[in-house]
């Protein structure tokens, strides 16, 4: 932190002390604004500044977004829930000036902006891009997997032709490649700085970049106190997009949602990111506070009956569940009406819109009939598993389901599983007979969703579902261009099977809630992390 | 022995009402209003624990989305929670569970601690040394975190909460009993008992240990209260009892998130109830001690 | 003095098996924790291969015995490993967070003593009176409040409604810079830096959480003070002092109190180590970056290194604390270490 | 100088009011030494606390007035009283070690008083304190000044207490049982010291004691108190020769002294002829080279250094010695509560030392060797009734049960003169004498051959002691038991025992028939002991 800002801060503190004498005077935000500072509170904790590092958690992805650039980025559009949203259909340049794709779709050539520089003033070169991509595909774990989704698998696919020309060679064309370059993972690192700090057993400088980013992004990290706050400071030389209006953005970690809400309401912070549905519902009625609840694309909260558990191999039982669920009550109590209902859709599937409501709706009569028709007319007992990490929506949901299922003779005991074992039990071992699940695909196409959630053995197919036709359909469709005539029929067929077999019973499409008090310019991103670049403060 | 205080005992009154256990209890209660209060509250909570299910107006588990988050009113004295469940009913029902947990846990640690403490306090030697190190080791753990660890490791069932709470309490009892036994191990009456043909074990069990009870009573009552807080704390972190089982800690934890939005009743009433229960046990101690202590009789 | 120093050395010797015990137990405890850290930290969308990779990286593919062997080996080299939750080395985490917890706990205890000890003395001088009962009821009420509840209530009242307290945002409001790191205690560091504003700001952040903890610790201290004072006041030497015509405050403080101090000091020690573990919940509520909240997070995600490091640190602290108490004892009571 | 008129003091207790002092009047002139003699509960101490206005909680002066040198002490403000206490009137207490602040250097404690009463300034306080210590004949006072109470002997502590009391040269000294708990020799030294100081300073003194002998030796005038009333007043000599009040006579009789017989301790009406006990030639107990060493901080400590002696069947052996002489250790080894380091204990010819004490309860001789403990209170389980205490050995060793047991217990109660009604009581509900009786009943329940009596009457009032001693004599004759009578009080030993052993620092320094050892002591140590014991004047034969 440089001198003038230090002095700046002292001036500030002087001011606040004076203000503190008159407790009711809310001068803090005013002070913050005058110095071009925006304060955001969030419940998540950042545990690394390097997305590629193993063990880096979701919250840390925002660093990749805000401090690094990718070759390309997504466009912006009006979001359904109000405010702005990224636009999956529009790919915009970020570090790349322009790009061309060969007719066979196997070669992509990028021209890097010639005025793009890293924070240390060095020019961004194709070599840097190559090094960064190599790193992404070699790091293992999530980044590698994500790269692979776009058909980017081996270093030899990347080539730095000259300083400003970067070429990607694909094994097969895919509609996912270009979008996959716009996700946080393939961000571009200052390879010289990185390599200067690489070691024998740490060739990718994981340890160094873990605490000290070296990029070209819109913001630098001024200070990072793990578990407390991350302070972004603007990089005035940024060429990746319009220069952010905020000089400094402070992301403060506050675990207690109640406290976060209090801070926002009192205007001590300008923004609270990812707030509980209830707060969203209540705050949205308050004057001076803007709440954006953006339905999360390609994400559905589901109830998953596990096929490994005998009774759920009986289609009637699964459908009985689907009819027994008190959708509306759950939607109101667990989600406080934030998000999009995913029940009571029409039976006829005529479009490829996704997520889409299931044809089911609460109907205990129907449910009872189905149970009677099943091989388990006398009912059975089964644990209903939820994750402690997601208790805020899962718990009320589970409680209401428990009551409803008891009505049709399915006795459930609610099992709360700590965050650590949740993934293992639910997704890796797929051992939970009946549980709630909330997969959301980053790349916004139905087939991408089905790839992860309906294909056997894939991580989010926690129901151990297998259907030959689905397997085939997904493989065919995954990389198929959307304008391909076969695309729509395939996808709609998937929908039919999905609602027929019900390995996942849709509940609702969740919303990402953000509340702002004196801030503006929030934009929703599929990665559900905060992009601070477009933010600005509004004078109150 | 100060001559000043030894008022002569008028021997007539002896063997009269005042001498019976009941009379003694009555005296202890009369003697100290606070103890009186404590016992009254204890009776109240016992009542809730035993007859709660018969008394409560609503099914504590029955949700009612339509009437969620209602403020206290005539038909919902403590209001309703985010699922429309009656907070009052849940609070009352929870009494049984919470008392069970604390009593069971304390009983467990009491028994184990007493045995360990007696043995080491009476025989001493290497056994004493070893056990002391062991107790030190347990004490050296941040107790609450140890409890968390145990529950996390064994899984969060009521039994495990009880075990965890018991484990972290054992050292206190062991220490206390050890000290109490140690000062009496060469007392005249202990030696007399040996002359009367008692084995060491019998001297310890029949003659020495009972004399350690009065001071332990204080510890017991304090721990009963503490055990409740402990269980509540575990629930607060999410390592507690399973929903929808009503439990004070969980209710406060859930309610906590609603305070700021003005639905204070969800947290405040369970919180107060919990506090009252702990309060009761904490006040109980001195009274209990006076009751089990024959020297307090005249 | 030499027998005393001998006693202190003895204490240190006694502590060694304790620490070893802690090491073993904490290791076993963490390994008993459910869940597969590797799978958890492989992050979303990780496949079997990458999970295996991480498992190997964490050395979790080895046998328990091997793992313990390596763990102890690292310990000897002073390496506590790296926390997966925070991504930092456990050593640096503790270094950063321990002062926070210590500062909070100490301030809380100071506050608590400032109230509890006078209360205890007051009650002891008027046993059986309404004053006595009132003191008892008051402090008991304090200890009966679940800290997490008290904390939230205080925040709601003093910050949210009254706006008297600063925003409950950990150790410093975000517009302040943490003072130059010397001791890690913000109050001390700020004072050293001569930065009054920061000092006041740090203090303001401390008030609510400290009060919460203090309320909780009043009872044991007050109770013990009362008991100790009662027995001291009924001692023969007090009668001697009275018969010699000494003034009542001389008797109360010069004679009775100093004798009553011994058990009080012991209690203080116990309360301190207990609080240090128990402020887990308070830290959670006040977003206090201390070791308590650290431990909880680590425990919930089975972050082995972090949990073990935390427990070990606490154990060492506990040992040191007991040493300090013993020394305090020896200073107060000439009999200690000589019989 | 001091006059008390119609003083009465009451205590609030659980059983309501207890009148500890019920309207007493007495005067003390300058330089006079007044003895207040009475048994526990007579209100003698309360009187002194009352006039110092340092009554314990719940106590208050009801009527009467106390004037000292013209000042009305009852009306005086607390502040004035503080100036009087320690300055005009001082007090010394029993159990000197407890009477000193354990964690304050004794010198400083003396200073506190000096400074409080403006007798010294911060600067010269130390010098004056040392002077005060020297005044009570503490040699090397400068070094003692730095000491803590726990580093000093009981006698030394009492000197310190005296120094504190006399530091400010008060005109009146109240000594409340100043020598209880001290060895005879120390007792004498302390009393002589106090006496001399009083004389040379022309200081008035009130000596409160239960020991008529002691009082008569050091006082110009004695008042006898009973149940809060003064029953008699007069010069010690006259008091002994022609006591007016029955109670005084009772006390006089009960006080063991030269020429007294065991029966003469009792009031005349109670004196039945003394039973004779038969002493056989056959040794019941033979102790050979008995050694006990304890592991001490600084090397092993030898408590008993290879002593040997016999007790014949039916014989009573007195074991005399001051604290630390090893007499208690010896008795505990013989009763098999402790294991000797070396040496033999032959009982009826069998070595019982070979059986470790831990297993001795199953030994055949267990029932034959029993013990009456020194502190009756401490020797009864607070949670058990008198009956259960007496029943214990019968139930455990005899295996007696039910009505048979109950019958035996009540027999024993009769035997030791314990009212049946008290059998259901808890120890704290019994008086000292009653507790002693329970202890004895328990000890003789199994009709042992050898009974060890460890200072059985030390904690008792003289009148009770008289009864208990006589009880023991009767039982001895009735049951033909042998006694090992451990005591520090030679007068008592003289009355009870056939043979005497004098122990000092773990060794037997003198032994022989009681008559020879006591009446013409050859051994210097024995002689000092005898001389140290207070000798009340011979009463006229009643």
| pLDDT score for A472 | 93
* The pLDDT value given to residue A107: 94
Q: What pTM, to 2 d.p., does this model score? A: 0.81
Q: Which residues of C touch D297 (CB under 8 A)?
A: 339
pLDDT band at C42 (very low <50, low <70, confident <90, very high): low
| Rounded Cα–Cα distance for residues B283 and D401 (Å) | 42
Size of interface B-D (CB pairs under 8 A): 119
Q: Is the Cα torsion angle D404, D409, D414, D419 positive or negative in sign? A: negative
Report the distance separating Cα D471 and Cα D106, nearest Å: 45
Query: What is the Cβ-side half-sphere exposure of residue A484, based on CA atoms within 13 angstroms?
Result: 15
D214 forms beta bridges with none
Nearest to A258 among B82, B244, B256 (CB): B256
pLDDT in tens, C184-234: 888 888 888 888 888 888 898 999 999 999 998 888 899 889 888 888 888
Cα distance from B6 to chain C (closest Cα, Å)?
15
Q: What is the pLDDT of residue C128?
A: 76
How much is the CA Rg of chain C, to the nearest whole Å?
24
Is residue D138 within 8 Å of residue D152, measured between CB atoms? no
What percent of chain D stands above pLDDT 90?
26
Asked if B33 has any chain D CB less than 8 Å from its own CB, the reply is no
Run of H or E including B14: none
Tell me whether the omega of the peptide bond preceding residue D451 falls within 30 degrees of 0, making it cis. Answer: no
- Range C134-139 contact pairs with CB under 8 angstroms and sequence separation of 24 or more: C135/C222, C135/C226, C136/B34, C136/B283, C136/C223, C137/B34, C137/B283, C138/C218, C139/C218, C139/C219, C139/C222, C139/C223
Q: Which pLDDT score, from 0 to 100, does residue A35 have?
A: 60
Regions of chain A where pLDDT drops below 50: 1-34, 540
Q: Which residues of C touch D164 (CB under 8 A)?
A: 240, 244
> Hey, what are D433's tokens?
């004498």
Rounded to a whole number of angstroms, the distance from the CA of B47 to the nearest CA of chain A is: 29
Q: Which residues contact D269 (CB under 8 A, 6 or more apart)?
A: none
Helix (H/G/I), strand (E/B), else coil: B286: helix
Triad A363, A366, A367: Cα angle to 5°: 80
Alpha-carbon distance of A361 to A346, in angstroms, equals 10
User: At residue B26, does pLDDT exceed 90?
Assistant: no
- Contacts of residue D475, defined as CB under 8 A and 6 or more positions apart, other chains included, come to D415, D416, D440, D444, D481
Average the pLDDT over each of A10-14, A95-99, C163-167, C250-254 and give the range with the smallest value. Answer: A10-14
Q: Which residues of A touch C159 (CB under 8 A)?
A: 262, 266
CA distance A260 to chain C (A): 9
Are residues C149 and B252 in contact, defined by beta-carbon separation less than 8 angstroms?
yes
Q: Are residues A421 and C34, on separate chains, in Cβ contact within 8 Å?
A: yes
Instruction: Say yes or no for a CB contact (<8 Å) between B294 and D15.
Output: no
Of residues A539, A533, A540, the one with CA closest to residue A70 = A533
Chains in contact with C, counting 3 or more C-beta pairs less than 8 Å apart as contact:
A, B, D
Q: At D415, list the tokens.
A: 């035997």
Weakest-pLDDT range from A529-533, B115-119, C6-10, D338-342: C6-10
**CB A95 within 8 Å of CB A116:** yes
Residue C332 at interface with chain D, using a CB cutoff of 8 Å = yes
Over residues D272-296, the pLDDT tens digits come to 888 888 888 888 999 999 999 988 7
Query: Tokens representing A212?
Result: 């000290």
Sign, Cα dihedral of A269, A270, A272, A273: negative
Task: Tell me if A250 and C174 make a contact (CB, 8 A cut-off).
Answer: yes
Q: What is the DSSP code (8-state) at residue B141?
A: S
User: Taking CB atoms and an 8 Å limit, are D102 and C247 in contact across chains?
Assistant: no
Confidence of residue D213 (pLDDT cuts 50, 70, 90): confident
Per-residue model confidence (pLDDT) at position C170: 78
* CB spacing of B68 vs A282 below 8 angstroms: no
Are β-strands A340-341 and A505-509 bridged in parallel, bridged antiparallel, or unpaired?
antiparallel
Q: Give the chain B residue nearest A335 (alpha carbons).
A: B82
Give pLDDT, residue A152.
92
The Cα D79–Cα A76 span in angstroms is 88
Question: How close is the nearest chain B Cα to the Cα of C15, in Å?
Answer: 8
Instruction: Give how far the C-alpha of residue A168 lies from the chain's centroid of Cα atoms, to the nearest Å.
Output: 26
Measure the CA–CA gap between A146 and A150, rounded to whole angstroms. Answer: 7
CB of A418 less than 8 A from some CB of B: yes
- Report the gap between the CA of D367 and the closest CA in chain B (Å): 8
Furthest CA-CA distance within chain A = 76
pLDDT of amino acid A28: 39
Q: Collapsing DSSP states into helix, strand and coil, what is residue A431?
A: coil
Task: Characterize D287-310 residue by residue with b for buried, 16 or more Cβ atoms within 10 angstroms of its Cβ, and e for exposed.
Answer: bbebbbbeeeeeeeebbbbbbebe
Which chain D positions have a beta carbon within 8 Å of C250's beta carbon? 112, 116
Helices marked H in D44-121: 44-52, 78-84, 106-116
* Band of residue C39 on the pLDDT scale cut at 50, 70, 90: confident
Q: Are B244 and B97 in contact (CB under 8 A)?
A: no
d(C-alpha B161, C-alpha B228), whole Å: 11
pLDDT attached to residue A454? 93
The answer to whether residue A90 neighbours chain C at the CB level (below 8 Å) is no
A209-263 pLDDT per residue, tens: 998 999 999 999 988 888 888 999 999 999 988 999 999 999 988 877 878 888 8
A228 to C289: CB separation less than 8 angstroms, yes or no: yes
Q: Does C255 touch chain D (CB under 8 A)?
A: yes
Is the separation of the CB atoms in D26 and D34 below 8 Å? yes
Instruction: Provide the strand spans (E) within C55-158.
Output: none
Closest CA to B220 of B132, B105, B101, B121: B105
| Interchain proximity B3–D389, CB inside 8 Å | no
Does residue B63 belong to the interface with chain A, where contact is any CB pair within 8 Å?
A: yes
In this prediction, residue C111 carries a pLDDT of 94
Determine whether the interchain pair B294/D383 forms a contact, defined as Cβ–Cβ distance below 8 Å: yes
Is residue C180 pLDDT above 90, yes or no?
no
- Give kind and range of the element (H or E) at residue A417: strand A410-417
Q: Is the CB of residue C45 less than 8 Å away from at least one CB of chain D? A: no
C interface test, pick of A227, A233, A526 with most C CB neighbours within 10 Å: A227
The label of the residue with tokens 């076969």 reads: A486
The structure tokens listed for A373 are 């028709």
How far C302 CA sits from the closest chain A CA (Å)?
6
Q: Report yes or no for ipTM above 0.85.
A: no
First CA to last CA distance, chain B: 18
Per-residue pLDDT at D222 exceeds 70 = yes
Whether pLDDT at C309 is above 60: yes
Question: Which tokens go with D377?
Answer: 């209170």
| The predicted structure's pLDDT at residue C275 | 83
φ and ψ of A237, to 5 deg: -95, 15
pLDDT value of residue D264: 83
**Quick one: pLDDT at residue B14?**
37
Cα separations in angstroms, A537 against A34, A66, A516, B132 = 10, 18, 10, 62
Question: Does the beta-carbon distance from B145 to C314 stay under 8 Å?
Answer: yes
Contacts of C281 in chain B (CB under 8 A): 144, 233, 236-237
- Best CA proximity match to B254, nearest among A439, A200, C148, D165: C148
Q: How many CB atoms lie within 10 A of CB B31?
A: 14
How many other C-beta atoms can be found within 10 angstroms of the C-beta atom of residue C336? 18
d(CA A329, CA B66) in angstroms, rounded, equals 8
Q: Is A367 left (phi over 0), alpha (psi -120 to 50) or beta?
A: alpha
Shortest CB distance from C300 goes to which of A250, A252, A418?
A: A418
């Amino acid at each position: 932190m440089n001198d003038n800002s230090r002095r700046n801060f002292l001036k500030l503190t002087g001011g606040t002390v004076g203000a503190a004498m008159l407790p009711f005077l809310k001068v803090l935000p005013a002070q913050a604004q005058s110095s071009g500072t925006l304060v955001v509170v969030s419940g998540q904790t950042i545990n690394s500044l390097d997305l590629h590092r193993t063990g880096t958690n979701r919250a840390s992805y925002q660093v990749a977004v805000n401090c690094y650039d990718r070759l390309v980025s997504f466009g912006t559009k009006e979001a359904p829930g109000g405010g702005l949203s990224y636009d999956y259909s529009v790919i915009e340049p970020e570090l790349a000036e322009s790009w061309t794709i060969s007719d066979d779709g196997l070669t992509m050539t990028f021209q890097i902006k010639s005025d793009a520089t890293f924070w240390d003033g060095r020019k961004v070169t194709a070599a840097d891009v190559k090094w960064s991509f190599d790193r992404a595909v070699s790091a293992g774990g999530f980044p590698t997997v994500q790269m692979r989704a776009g058909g980017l698998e081996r270093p030899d696919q990347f080539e730095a032709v000259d300083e400003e020309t970067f070429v990607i060679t694909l094994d097969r064309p895919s509609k996912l490649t270009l979008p996959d370059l716009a996700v946080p993972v393939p961000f571009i690192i200052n390879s010289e700085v990185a390599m200067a700090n690489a070691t024998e057993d740490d060739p990718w400088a994981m340890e160094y970049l873990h605490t000290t980013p070296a990029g070209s992004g819109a913001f630098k990290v001024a200070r990072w106190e793990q578990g407390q706050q991350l302070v972004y400071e603007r990089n005035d030389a940024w060429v990746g997009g319009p220069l952010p209006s905020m000089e400094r953005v402070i992301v403060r970690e506050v675990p207690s949602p109640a406290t976060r809400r209090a801070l926002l309401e009192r205007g001590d912070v300008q923004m609270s990111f990812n707030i509980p549905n209830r707060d969203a519902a209540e705050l949205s009625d308050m004057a001076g506070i803007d709440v954006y609840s953006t339905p999360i694309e390609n994400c559905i909260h589901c109830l998953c009956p596990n096929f490994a558990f005998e009774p759920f191999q009986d289609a009637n039982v699964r459908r009985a569940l689907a009819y027994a669920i008190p959708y509306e009550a759950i939607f109101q109590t667990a989600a406080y009406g934030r998000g999009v209902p995913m029940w009571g859709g029409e039976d006829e599937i005529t479009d490829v819109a996704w997520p889409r409501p299931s044809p089911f709706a609460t109907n205990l009569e129907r449910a009872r009939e189905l149970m009677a028709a099943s091989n388990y007319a006398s009912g059975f007992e089964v644990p209903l598993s939820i994750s402690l990490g997601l208790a805020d929506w899962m718990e009320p949901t589970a409680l209401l389901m428990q009551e409803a299922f008891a009505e049709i003779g399915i006795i459930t005991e609610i099992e709360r599983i700590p965050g650590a074992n949740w993934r293992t039990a639910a997704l890796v071992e797929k051992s939970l007979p009946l549980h709630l699940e909330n997969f959301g695909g980053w790349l916004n196409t139905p087939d991408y969703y089905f790839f992860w959630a309906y294909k056997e053995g894939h991580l989010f197919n926690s129901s151990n579902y297998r259907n030959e036709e689905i397997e085939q359909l997904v493989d065919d469709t995954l990389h198929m261009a959307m304008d391909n005539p076969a695309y729509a029929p395939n996808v709609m067929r998937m929908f039919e099977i999905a609602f027929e077999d019900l390995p996942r019973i849709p509940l609702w499409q969740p919303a990402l809630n953000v509340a702002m008090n004196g801030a503006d310019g929030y934009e929703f991103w599929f990665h559900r992390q905060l992009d601070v670049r477009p933010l600005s403060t509004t004078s109150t | 022995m100060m001559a000043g205080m030894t008022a002569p005992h008028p021997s007539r009154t002896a063997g009269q009402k005042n001498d019976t256990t009941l009379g003694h209890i009555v005296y202890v209660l009369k003697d100290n209003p606070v103890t009186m209060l404590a016992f009254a509250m204890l009776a109240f909570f016992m009542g809730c624990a035993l007859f709660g299910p018969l008394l409560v107006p609503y099914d504590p588990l029955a949700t009612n989305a339509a009437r969620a988050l209602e403020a206290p009113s005539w038909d919902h004295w403590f209001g309703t929670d985010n699922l429309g469940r009656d907070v009052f009913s849940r609070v009352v029902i929870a009494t049984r569970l919470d008392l069970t947990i604390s009593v069971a846990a304390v009983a467990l640690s009491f028994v184990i601690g007493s045995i360990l403490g007696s043995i080491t306090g009476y025989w001493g030697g290497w056994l004493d040394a070893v056990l002391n190190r062991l107790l030190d080791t347990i004490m050296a753990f941040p107790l609450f975190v140890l409890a968390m660890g145990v529950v996390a490791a064994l899984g969060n069932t009521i039994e495990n909460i009880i075990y965890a709470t018991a484990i972290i309490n054992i050292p206190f009892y062991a220490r206390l009993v050890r000290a109490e036994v140690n000062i009496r191990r060469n007392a005249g009456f202990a030696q007399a008992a040996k002359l009367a043909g008692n084995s060491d074990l019998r001297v310890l069990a029949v003659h020495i240990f009972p004399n350690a009870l009065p001071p332990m009573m204080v510890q017991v009552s304090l721990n009963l209260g503490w055990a409740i807080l402990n269980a509540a704390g575990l629930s607060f972190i999410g390592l507690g009892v399973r929903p929808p089982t009503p439990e004070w800690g969980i209710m406060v934890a859930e309610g906590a998130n609603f305070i700021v939005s003005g639905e204070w009743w969800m947290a405040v009433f369970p919180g107060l109830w919990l506090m009252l229960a702990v309060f009761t046990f904490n006040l109980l101690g001195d009274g209990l001690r006076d009751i089990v202590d024959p020297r307090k009789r005249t | 003095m030499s027998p005393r120093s001998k006693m202190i050395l003895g204490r240190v010797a006694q502590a060694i098996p304790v620490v070893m015990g802690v090491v073993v137990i904490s290791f076993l405890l963490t390994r008993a924790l459910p869940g597969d850290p590797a799978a958890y930290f492989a992050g979303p969308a990780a496949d079997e291969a990458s999970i295996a990779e991480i498992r190997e990286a964490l050395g979790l593919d080895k046998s328990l015995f091997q793992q313990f062997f390596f763990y102890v080996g690292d310990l000897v080299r002073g390496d506590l490993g790296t926390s997966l939750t925070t991504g930092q080395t456990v050593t640096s985490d503790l270094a950063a967070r321990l002062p926070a917890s210590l500062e909070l706990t100490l301030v809380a205890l100071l506050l608590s003593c400032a109230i509890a000890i006078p209360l205890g003395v007051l009650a002891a001088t008027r046993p059986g009176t309404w004053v006595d009962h009132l003191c008892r009821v008051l402090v008991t009420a304090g200890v009966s409040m679940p800290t997490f509840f008290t904390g939230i209530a205080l925040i709601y009242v003093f910050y949210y409604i009254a706006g008297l307290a600063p925003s409950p945002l950990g150790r410093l409001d975000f517009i302040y810079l943490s003072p130059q790191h010397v001791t890690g205690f913000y109050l001390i560091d700020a004072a050293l830096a001569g930065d009054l504003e920061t000092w006041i700001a740090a203090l303001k952040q401390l008030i609510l959480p400290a009060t919460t903890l203090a309320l909780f610790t009043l009872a044991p201290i007050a109770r013990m003070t009362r008991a100790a004072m009662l027995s001291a006041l009924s001692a023969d030497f007090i009668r001697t002092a009275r018969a010699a015509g000494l003034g009542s405050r001389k008797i109360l403080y010069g004679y009775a109190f100093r004798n009553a101090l011994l058990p009080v000091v012991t209690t203080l020690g116990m309360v301190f180590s207990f609080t240090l573990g128990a402020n887990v919940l308070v830290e959670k509520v006040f977003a206090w970056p201390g070791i308590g909240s650290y431990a909880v997070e680590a425990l919930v995600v089975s972050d082995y290194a972090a949990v073990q490091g935390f427990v070990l640190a606490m154990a060492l602290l506990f040992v040191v604390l007991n040493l300090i108490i013993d020394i305090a004892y020896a200073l107060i009571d000439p009999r200690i270490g000589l019989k | 100088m001091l006059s008390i008129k119609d003083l009465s003091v009451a205590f609030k207790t659980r059983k309501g009011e207890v009148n500890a002092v019920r309207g007493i009047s007495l005067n003390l002139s300058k330089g006079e030494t007044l003895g207040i003699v009475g048994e526990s509960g007579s209100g003698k101490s309360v009187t002194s606390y009352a006039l110092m206005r340092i009554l314990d909680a719940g106590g208050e002066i009801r009527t009467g007035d106390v004037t000292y040198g013209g000042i009305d002490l009852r009306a005086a403000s607390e502040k004035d009283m503080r100036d009087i206490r320690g300055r005009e009137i001082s007090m010394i207490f029993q159990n000197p070690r407890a009477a000193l602040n354990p964690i304050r250097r004794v010198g400083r404690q003396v200073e506190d008083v000096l400074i409080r009463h403006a007798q010294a300034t911060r600067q010269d306080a130390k010098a004056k304190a040392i002077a005060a210590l020297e005044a009570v004949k503490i040699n090397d006072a400068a070094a003692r000044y730095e000491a803590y109470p726990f580093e000093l002997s009981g006698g030394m502590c009492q000197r310190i207490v005296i120094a504190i009391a006399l530091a400010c040269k008060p005109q009146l000294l109240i000594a409340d049982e100043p020598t209880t708990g001290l060895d005879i020799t120390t007792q004498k030294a302390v009393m002589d010291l106090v006496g001399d100081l009083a004389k040379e300073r022309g200081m008035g003194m009130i000596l409160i004691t239960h020991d008529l002998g002691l009082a008569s030796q050091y006082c110009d005038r004695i008042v006898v108190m009973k149940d809060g009333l003064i029953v008699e007043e007069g010069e010690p000599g006259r008091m002994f020769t022609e006591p007016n009040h029955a109670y005084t006579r009772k006390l006089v009789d009960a006080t063991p002294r030269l020429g007294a017989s065991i029966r003469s301790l009792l009031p005349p009406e109670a004196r039945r002829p003394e039973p004779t006990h038969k002493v056989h030639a056959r040794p019941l107990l033979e102790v050979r080279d008995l050694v006990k060493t304890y592991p001490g901080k600084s090397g092993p400590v030898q408590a008993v250094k290879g002593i040997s002696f016999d007790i014949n069947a039916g014989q009573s052996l007195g074991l005399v010695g001051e604290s630390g002489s090893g007499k208690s250790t010896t008795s505990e080894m013989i009763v098999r509560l402790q294991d000797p380091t070396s040496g033999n204990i032959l009982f009826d010819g069998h070595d019982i030392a070979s059986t470790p004490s831990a297993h001795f309860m199953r030994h055949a001789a267990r029932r034959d060797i029993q013990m009456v403990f020194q502190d009756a209170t401490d020797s009864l389980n607070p949670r058990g009734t008198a009956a259960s205490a007496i029943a214990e050995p019968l139930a455990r060793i005899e295996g007696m049960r039910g009505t048979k047991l109950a019958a035996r217990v009540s027999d024993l109660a009769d035997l030791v003169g314990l009212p049946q009604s008290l059998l259901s009581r808890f120890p704290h509900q019994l008086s000292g004498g009653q507790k002693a009786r329970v202890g004895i009943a328990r000890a003789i329940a199994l009709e042992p051959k050898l009974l060890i009596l460890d200072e059985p009457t030390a904690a008792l009032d003289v009148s009770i002691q008289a009864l208990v001693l006589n009880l023991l004599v009767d039982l001895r004759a009735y049951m033909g038991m042998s006694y090992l009578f451990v005591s520090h009080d030679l007068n008592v030993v003289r009355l009870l025992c056939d043979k005497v052993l004098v122990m000092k620092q773990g060794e037997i320094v003198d032994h022989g028939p009681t008559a020879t050892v006591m009446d013409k002591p050859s051994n210097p140590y024995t002689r000092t002991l005898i001389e140290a014991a207070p000798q009340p004047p011979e009463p006229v034969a009643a």
